[in-house]
Amino acid sequence: MITILGGGPGGYTAAIRAVQLGAEVTLLEKEEVGGTCLNWGCVPSKVFLKGSKMYSQLKFAESYGVFAKPSPFDMRRLGERKNEVKQALVMGLKNVLRSYGVNIVHGEGRMIDEHTVVGPGGNIACDKIILATGCQPEVPHLFQELSVTYKDVFQLQYLPRSVLVVNGGVFAVEMAWFFLELGSQVTMVAENVLERDFEDIETRIASYLQNRGVKFVQGRIASIKKQGEQKLVEIGEEEIIAEELIWMNRKRVLEGIPRKLVQHESVAVNEHMQTAFPAVYAVGDITGSYTAGDAMAQGVVAAEHAMGNTTAYNPRTVPKVLYAPEAAVIGLTEREASEEYDVVKGNFPYGASGRAQTVGAIRGRVTILADKKYGEILGAHIVGKGASELIQLIGFAMRLEATIDELSSLLCAHPTMVEMIRDAGLDIHGNAFNLPRK
């Protein structure tokens, strides 16, 4: 019997996998299955980005002979569309869980010892526990009144003409991009534009944002004052005016978890996702990772290990994606790689790709890092259209431990974006088909 706390990507993936391996599973969820990802994160934000992209693309349509005048953007309609998608996915997920016989308990749970969770109906005794309580928005108490969180953005009834996005990271950049595409004035206050995983492309992304008019500010918010419909925000020397302040900060939900398992505000785990109690596992955001992809990968590992397999989690082969402006990374960064390996690097610019040219996506680049000695694929970063899907192929090759030469032996339909992966691999030896001779 396995009890899982939290029905986000970490929790529901673990539940399904555990049942597949023969376990009986109880899943406690206090709000809605799907967690942040389906309800307040990945899914809503991607629907929003689809809307803003269509809007901004009307401009480019003219060069393809399409003339259309954009009407004022309707946030409410977009919100409805988002709800439809979300509902469809939540319903689908519930059906899947039900088909596996996962016992879904609606309500808050709390772990009281290694083999007991207290739920709304009393104690639940179990052999193993998987903690997957995820994250919640966080705004300093002082500023709560005049701020909104990422959750609130997905419920906005109007389009603010100026926003201040507080904090950096992939999801904050996506948020900024959404408003940019809709023509709003965007300011970002952040120490780093993106997470460490993205360090090889961070400056590139920052310059995209800057070229589109994003203003970057560093420092702490000292005060927020109301000024008519707007807010006046004091950050160091600067004063920023914005209609909405959007806090992207997230806090790990650790309430139902014994303090003993918590270190530096996250739950400490080993490679099998086991906590300090061997019968208790933790997966997803509470372990310190920050994407749904990691949460799901960890969920599988925890379930398999709890059922007696020796699976281990390898964060290196989980891709990280920025949906807009589109980019993706996997594996080691150049700095990390060069600390351990003699690194060789292959590049391919989008402009040289037939497919990228035909779809008008000439801005971008594929870079693959490999070990010179054995040809191990160490990592990759892609900026440009299709990056979010292209990166998966490299991830797959890494998981199979294919060498760079095998990756570059890919046979492709033409013209396709994937050809760029092959050519970036070939470029390591200066043999790319679509680049001039070196």
Partner 1 sequence: MKMVMPKMGMTMEEGTIVEWKKREGEFVEKGEIILEIMTNKVNIEVEAPASGFLKILRGVDDVVLVGEVIASIEEKVPEAVEKAEVSRAMEDVPWKEPEFKPVRQEREVVEISVQEERTPASPRARRVAEDYGVLLENVRGTGPDGAVTEGDVLSYVGKRKSQEAFQSGLPGVSPLAERIAREKGIDLSRIKGTGLEGKITKEDVFRYMEEREKPERPRMQKELEPEKPGIEKEREPEIPRIEKEREPEIPRIEKEREPEIPRIEKSSEIELEQAIEKPMIRPEPVSQLPPIQTGATLAEPEHRVEEPIMHLEKPLGPEPEGKTLPLTGIRKLTAERMSRSKREAPHLTLGMDVDMTEASNLKTSLAVTYTDILVKAVALALRTHPQLNSTLSENRIVLRDTINIGIAVARGEDLLVPVIHRADALSLKKISQATADIIERTRKDQLKDTDVLDGTFTISNLGMYDIDFFTPIINPPEAAILGVGRITPRPVVVRNRIEIREIATLSLSFDHRIVNGVPAALFLKEVRNLLEHPYRLLMEEEP
Ligand X SMILES: Cc1cc2nc3c(=O)[nH]c(=O)nc-3n(C[C@H](O)[C@H](O)[C@H](O)COP(=O)(O)OP(=O)(O)OC[C@H]3O[C@@H](n4cnc5c(N)ncnc54)[C@H](O)[C@@H]3O)c2cc1C
- Given 2, 23, 47, 292, the residue binding ligand X (CB under 6 A): 292
Among ligand X, partner 1, none, what binds residue 184 when CB lies within 5 to 8 Å by partner kind? none
- Given 310, 411, 413, 436, the residue binding partner 1 (CB under 8 A): 310
Instruction: State the DSSP code for 79.
Output: H
Q: In what order do the strands lie in the sheet with 230-235?
A: 221-227, 230-235, 238-242
Kindly state the smallest distance separating residue 92's Cβ from partner 1, in Å: 21
Measured CA to CA, the distance from residue 257 to residue 5 in angstroms comes to: 10
Measured CA to CA, the distance from residue 3 to residue 6 in angstroms comes to: 10
Instruction: For residue 282, give Cα distances in angstroms to 254, 332, 341, 383.
Output: 11, 24, 32, 32
Give the 3-state secondary structure of 152-214: HHCCCCCCCCEEEEECCCHHHHHHHHHHHHCCCEEEEECCCCCCHHHCCCHHHHHHHHHHCCC
Measured CA to CA, the distance from residue 294 to residue 50 in angstroms comes to: 24
Among ligand X, partner 1, none, what binds residue 271 when CB lies within 5 to 8 Å by partner kind? none
Kindly state the smallest distance separating residue 351's Cβ from ligand X, in Å: 27
Question: Which residues in 44-63 contact ligand X (CB under 6 A)?
Answer: 45
Give the position of tokens 């992209």.
53
Measured CA to CA, the distance from residue 135 to residue 143 in angstroms comes to: 20
- Given 31, 334, 406, 434, the residue binding partner 1 (CB under 8 A): 406
Q: What backbone torsions phi and psi does residue 32 show, to the nearest 5 degrees?
A: -140, 135
- Given 7, 375, 379, 425, the residue binding partner 1 (CB under 8 A): 375
Cβ distance to partner 1 smaller for residue 24 or 389: 24
Binding part of the chain for ligand X, among 32-40, 68-76, 84-92, 184-192 by CB under 6 A, reads: 32-40
Question: Which residues in 239-278 contact partner 1 (CB under 8 A)?
Answer: none
Cβ distance to partner 1 smaller for residue 18 or 139: 18
Q: Where are the alpha helices (DSSP H) in 220-353?
A: 292-306, 334-340
164, amino acid identity = L
Among partner 1, ligand X, none, what binds residue 414 when CB lies within 5 to 8 Å by partner kind? none
Site string for partner 1, 12-41 (x = CB under 8 A): -------xxxx-x-----------------
Kindly state the smallest distance separating residue 410's Cβ from ligand X, in Å: 26
Cβ distance to ligand X smaller for residue 258 or 284: 284
Q: Is 41 in the site for ligand X (CB under 6 A)?
A: yes
Binding site residues, ligand X, CB under 6 A: 5-11, 28-31, 35-37, 41-42, 45, 108-109, 132-135, 150, 171, 253, 256, 284-285, 290-293, 295, 323
